[in-house]
Structure 1
Amino acid sequence: MYIATTPIEVRYAETDQMGVVYHANYLIWFELGRTALINDLGFRYADMEKEGILSPVVDIKASYKRPVRYGDQVMIRTWVETYDGIRVCYGYEVLNGEGEICVTGESVHTCVKRESFRPVSIRRKFPEWHKAYEEVKKEPVMDRM
């Protein structure tokens, strides 16, 4: 499993009245991590969009463990949690400077045609992406019964 790492320095504008990062900003950080992962694998979302394909979020989750504050240095860890040729589930962790997990999350994406929003097989349309995702996705845990 490959994990992309993206450093972030928390900006004042990303915090709320309580002085912690506003919850919706983690979704933006997830996007930064996802983009870094895709770039690390040698691809670009923009190239996909030039071919008339979009990759909307169909499900997203975030679980908040510890607060992150203005001026903190955090690391976004991003990986391919699951992939089936059509849907991609990305996993995320936001770690503080001490390496403690502050936020975990997942986002699920499906590729669709821009004009119709009909699903597209990544396996067929983008065989290089398919191969890369198969190589880097998280290995399933085998049941030891």
Structure 2
Amino acid sequence: MLVSSEEIAVRYAETDQMGVVYHANYLIWCEIGRTKYIEALGYKYADLEKMGVLSPVTSLQMKYHYPAKYGESITVETWVESYNGIRVIYGYEITNSLGQKCLTGTSEHVCVKKDTFKPISIKKHFPEWHESYEKHKK
């Protein structure tokens, strides 16, 4: 199983008046982690989009454990929790610089044709990407 890791500095603009990260910013960090994971496999979302394929989020599950704060760095770990040839579920764990778990979660995605938004099979349309997911999923 491949797990990618990305360190991010918590910026002031991501926090509220108490210096605590606003909850929606964790989703952005998960997207950064997901993008880095896909790049670690040797692929790019931008290439999919150039081919007229999008990968929308179809489901999110996030559990907040401990607040990340301004002045800290966080680490986003990302992996493929499950994959069936069409749907990909990415797993995430975000920890702060003290090793405290801030968030765990998953996001589910499908690939769709940009013009119709109809789902397509990753296995059929992107066989090399499919093999990478099969090889590295949990």
Matched residue SS, 1:67: coil
Give the whole-Å Cα distance in 2 for the aligned partners of 1:101 and 1:3: 16
Normalising by structure 2, we get a TM-score of 0.98
Structure 1 residue ranges without an equivalent (≥5): 139-145
Which consecutive residues of structure 2, in runs of 5 or more, have no partner in the other structure? none
**Aligned twin of 2:68:** 68
Per the alignment, in what secondary structure is the counterpart of residue 115 of structure 1? coil
Question: What is the CA–CA distance in structure 1 between the aligned matches of 2:98 and 2:26, rounded to whole Å?
Answer: 18
Which stretch of the first structure deviates more once superposed, 97-106 or 36-45?
A: 97-106
Aligned to 2:118: 118
- The alpha carbon displacement at 1:19 in A equals 1.7
* Percentage of identical aligned residues: 57
Whether 1:96 and 2:83 are equivalent positions in the alignment is no
- After superposition, give the CA deviation of every residue in 1:57-77 in whole Å (9 maximum; x if it has no partner): 000121110011001011000
Q: Provide the C-alpha distance between the structure 2 equivalents of 1:52 and 1:33, rounded to a whole number of angstroms.
A: 23
The residue correspondences of 1:3-42 to structure 2 (distance < 5 A) are 3-42=3-42
Larger CA deviation: 77-86 vs 97-106: 97-106
Residue 17 of structure 1 and its aligned partner are, at CA, apart by 2.5
Alignment of 1:35-54 (within 5 A): 35-54=35-54
Instruction: Please identify which structure carries the higher strand content.
Output: 2
How far 1:98 sits from its partner (Å)?
2.1
Q: TM-score with structure 1 length normalisation?
A: 0.93
Report the count of equivalent residues. Answer: 138
Could you list the runs of 4 or more consecutive aligned residues of structure 1 that deviate by over 2 angstroms after TM superposition?
none
Taking only aligned residues, the RMSD between alpha carbons, in angstroms, comes to 0.7
